Structure 1
Amino acid sequence: MTTCGERIMEMLAEYGIDIAFGIPGTHTIEMYRGLQSGRIRHVTPRHEQGAGFMADGYARITGRPALCMTVSGPGALNIATAMGQALQDSIPMLVISADNALPSRNLGEGRLHEVHHLERAMEQCSRWSHVLMRPDELPRVLARAFSIFRSERPGPVHITVPLDVITADASHVEPVLWPAPVRPAPHPGALLAAAERLNAAKRPALALGGGAVDAADDLRALAERLDAPVVLTQNAKGILPPDHPLYLRGGPGSEAARALLRDSDAILAIGTELGETDYDFSLSAQMLDLGTGDLIRVDLDNAQLTRMARPAIAIHADAALFAAALLPLVEKGAHGGADRTASANAAMAELPDRGYGAFHAAMLEALPDLYLVGDSVQPAYAAPDHFHPPAPRSFATAATGFGTLGHALPAAFGAKLGAPDRPIVALLGDGGVQFTINELSTAVQAKLPVAVVIWNNAAYEMIAMNFRDAGMNPIACDPTHPDFAALARSYGCHAERPATLNELKAALVAAQDRDAPTLIEVQEADMLAPAG
């Protein structure tokens, strides 16, 4: 007999799932039986939130979903925060939770891990949440999940599988995959209208988000043909290399970037939410002010085309298909793009940075192919203006959108599992790292040589600044912390405390040749000039 749990794992392997994160539980045993074939690697985190963050990190660097397996109740609700972060950032993730048997679901009888209508709770942090009612539904339920991953705006999918369904005989269920729908191509009329408006523009600009990273080559060519400055969100970093004359070195929330966009007579925005955490964190109005130029907006999610800014032309399409179709329709122009970009970059260069620029430059000098995962921490907040990687899929941060703390540590471990040959660095504060520091144990067991940089200022400094801006002394913003180096060594990690940028670079390089994480604790006072 082949149980439904076994059939699930067999079909997921056929769909390309090659890694699963989970903590075994009484109700998930039959899914673990399906791991015995060895086609899917299993990694055991120390908390389900860590499982979700690892799957998030894996998907950000590879573009592919990973699997998370939980029990219902505490397991599912523990992973909900990680799913919320992935939902906000459009990161694919498949979460399967075992639940009580169908006859006893939602009766309030005190069953193990009981949650009333688990699927309803999880739909708040999912693109789709569904209960598998019988094994025969499995092929089309998985087809729906992978349709979301491959042809829609991605995000977490949650599938609840009751215990009597997991253990049911699924020998008769053919493990045949359904073809995935193709992503939407741009409407020909809308495409021509966009080309005509861009060809007529005198001061065009591009605003690119994370949804555009897989169209990087065509978008670089498009920017060059239009002679248009390019503004990149944090998730879009690397679409243009830092030495490109059309690359604006400030993030879209910088005054230089906002001024450039407001001065443009046509803005082509692709794969970006135009959200406040990228474009204007002080946003007080309901809509983003992009000036009076025509906004041409392209997004895989048609609902996104109605949010934050009214477009002159709204195009529901995949970024790569749109860019490839638009490129031959655009005329080569001379619009002073390099000069406009240089002027904005000069304005950025005049702003004080206290040393964040040197800090980020040092990391890239040490590890040119670096993939940096930033938490909600001061140097990650500075990254939009100061971290300039040479290629896409080189930077991730939880400081946008959902804004979780502790994401970077397990996400960096997931990234290393997805790209074992790339140097991976997690960057967290002394407060945020305490949310997930137990996952060091996971990385030691998995032999992951990730550099974990802790930025120690003995504070939740951003919140403390908010208190001071509100005319108050900070309250509850001074968390105590352990001896991080001693704690790391107790887990089996290496630990270093560099006091200069040169020492930091040496520590980052040395971390790559080990078989376990290296915790690198830096004091903010050693890295930055005094405030004021």
Structure 2
Amino acid sequence: MAVKVYERLLQLFEAEGINTIFGIPDPNFVHLFHLAEERGWNVVAPHHEASAGFMAEAVSRMTGKAAVCIGTLGPGVANLAPAIMCAMVENSPVIFLGGQRARITEQRVRRGRIQFVQQAGLFEPSVKYCASIEYADQTDEIVREGLRQALSGTPGPVYIEYPSHVIQEELDVPPAVPPASYRLVGQQAGPDKIAEAAQAIRAAKQPVLLVGHGVHTARGGEAVRQLADLMACPVIQTSGGTSYIKGLEDRTFPYAFSPSGVEAVVQSDLCLAIGTELGEPVHYGRGYHWVANEANRTWILVEQDPEAIGVNRSIDIPLVGDLRAIVPQLVDALKDTPRTPSPELDGWIRQDAARLAELAETAPSGMSPVHPARLIVEATKVFPADGIMVRDGGATTIFGWTYSQAKPHDVMWNQNFGHLGTGLPYAVGAGVADGGRRPLMLITGDSSFMFHIAELETAARLGLPLVCVVAVDYAWGLEVGVYKRTFGQGSRETGTHWSKDTRLDKVAEGFGCHGEYVERDEDIAPAIKRAYASGKTAVVHVAVDPKANSEEMPSYDKFRTWYAEGTQ
């Protein structure tokens, strides 16, 4: 079968179930974009390549598959850098394709070349695999190695360069083969380890499931629900695992931010951790709340990368492989011996429900501008039950951890790298992956929102049902708080404030979106409802109290422990 190189790239990605590409095309990619659209792909051109990378990462999170993003040669590839580094730290398998001039240009002794820099070496430290298609007949092996590396062990990004001299070359190749023909798929744990884990679970009196980011990005929620039902235990969310698994909403507690979750961890005699690196946000599984009862606690870790076993803490029963294969193994091993819930579980459920109700009642109200805690309460009360939640911002996200009244089944935010500005691109990518069927809500701070505000046009062009609820204090609120804690009240807060004349609702209208301006508590929910009813991408500009936003962040002391000072 004779095909051009750019067509073969599409065939190889299609074999992996990939049908979406993000980027701004240049001469290296116009053929690929044109053909992709003809083949029924989602072809999305945002306004910045970094946004394209974040959008691709969101698609990967929503589908459990690798995703594809391109950057034009030189400056376009340079713009990919933030997204590449994010994907590495967020463990997201994104294939970044970089355009480049023909190799003869690179090898000549010349000065003053246009749009040219040697690119591959710049990204090599930030990806799992870095390669270039130098010859047309390398296409299959390089793309497959990229996918193999991106999806094996701890997932992560790869960078593949696509020099212009190979664009139009032809290949005589057979049809693209399925993934199992060239990489390990669905790796199970050994039956001896499964039996050992099942026996430990049966013997435990107070087990907990620790659910991380990987459960949701692997789309493994349903199997984990079956396992949790058999274990009859509480589910503890890591900071990255904040999506609620359908059917487990009532007994899912955020680690460290819920008294029920803390009590369940302290009393646990077995922890089964799935989809988490046991990193700083859970104190490596050995600090703070884990210290109590450590001597009596058995640890089981489901982990795809064997090199991760025992790094942050010792593991009693490692189950090495793909959680999508291992969790069903555990379900099968336990299906005839389901556990009976401990008497404490019902108490923890009632305690956590009372906590949320009390927070909704006690969040400061009646202020204008609005208290940020009240913003979170009012916005999340009207969050659509089937919606996709996206978070962004510093202080705004910290308020959200504590005060959110919603329990979404899909939550997306940049929890490991902490890269501000990802929220709007993530929302666009999630909406593209979902086909625009489910409503999206982005809750963000103003400074973060403006990183990639041009992508409002992208969302509007795609007709996404997205409502952006923006907490506006005209400042870097988290950093204002840092100044105050460092230098005292009344200190000069250099570089943290910006113009109070900015109206983000009006900016939204300029992009063809629906805009709402709010400065009172009681107007938040009606504005959000009108925004969804408009049928357009929308921005709800909520003026929040800057003093409260910088000084009253809840559980800030707990957040600081994530950096684990003194425990490195």
TM-score (norm: length of structure 1): 0.87
Aligned pairs, number: 523
Instruction: State the Cα RMSD in Å.
Output: 3.2
1:486 maps to 2:535: no
Query: Deviating runs (4+, > 6 A) in structure 1?
Result: 285-289, 526-532
Alpha carbons 2:11, 2:176 under 8 Å: kept: no
Q: Specify whether residues 158 and 108 from structure 1 end up closer, same or farther in structure 2 by C-alpha distance, changes over 3 A only.
A: farther
Rounded Cα–Cα distance in structure 1 between residues aligned with 2:108 and 2:401? 50
Alpha carbons 1:21, 1:67 under 8 Å: kept: yes
Q: In structure 1, what is the equivalent of residue 563 of structure 2? A: none
Rounded Cα–Cα distance in structure 2 between residues aligned with 1:357 and 1:324? 41
Q: In structure 1, what is the equivalent of residue 412 of structure 2? A: 396
The DSSP-based 3-state class of the residue aligned with 2:22 is strand
Q: In structure 2, what is the equivalent of residue 224 of structure 1? A: 229
Alignment of 1:228-307 (within 5 A): 228-240=233-245, 244-248=249-253, 250-252=254-256, 257-276=261-280, 278-280=281-283, 290-291=290-291, 292=294, 293-307=297-311
Rounded Cα–Cα distance in structure 2 between residues aligned with 1:369 and 1:450? 13
1:324 maps to 2:328: yes
Alignment of 1:408-447 (within 5 A): 408-419=423-434, 420-447=436-463
TM-score (norm: length of structure 2): 0.82
Unpaired segments ≥5 residues, structure 1: none
Q: In structure 1, what is the equivalent of residue 187 of structure 2? A: 184
> Residue by residue, what CA displacement relative to the aligned partner does 1:222-269 show, whole Å, maximum 9, x if unpaired?
333333221112443344458755322x34455653453233221111
Rounded Cα–Cα distance in structure 1 between residues aligned with 2:373 and 2:279? 24
Rounded Cα–Cα distance in structure 2 between residues aligned with 1:218 and 1:22? 34
Q: In structure 1, what is the equivalent of residue 202 of structure 2? A: 199
Q: Specify whether residues 447 and 218 from structure 1 end up closer, same or farther in structure 2 by C-alpha distance, changes over 3 A only.
A: closer
Q: In structure 1, what is the equivalent of residue 555 of structure 2? A: none
Per-residue deviation, 1:358: 7.2
Q: In structure 2, what is the equivalent of residue 525 of structure 1? A: 545
Rounded Cα–Cα distance in structure 2 between residues aligned with 1:43 and 1:154? 24
Rounded Cα–Cα distance in structure 1 between residues aligned with 2:314 and 2:444? 36
Alpha carbons 1:135, 1:173 under 8 Å: kept: no
The DSSP-based 3-state class of the residue aligned with 2:416 is coil
Per-residue deviation, 1:449: 3.2
Rounded Cα–Cα distance in structure 1 between residues aligned with 2:381 and 2:353? 22
Per-residue deviation, 1:211: 1.5
Per-residue deviation, 1:206: 1.3
Per-residue deviation, 1:209: 0.5
Q: Specify whether residues 358 and 444 from structure 1 end up closer, same or farther in structure 2 by C-alpha distance, changes over 3 A only.
A: closer
Q: In structure 1, what is the equivalent of residue 84 of structure 2? A: 83
Q: In structure 2, what is the equivalent of residue 341 of structure 1? A: 348
Identity of aligned residues (%): 24
Matched letter for residue 31 of structure 1: L
Unpaired segments ≥5 residues, structure 2: 365-371, 553-568
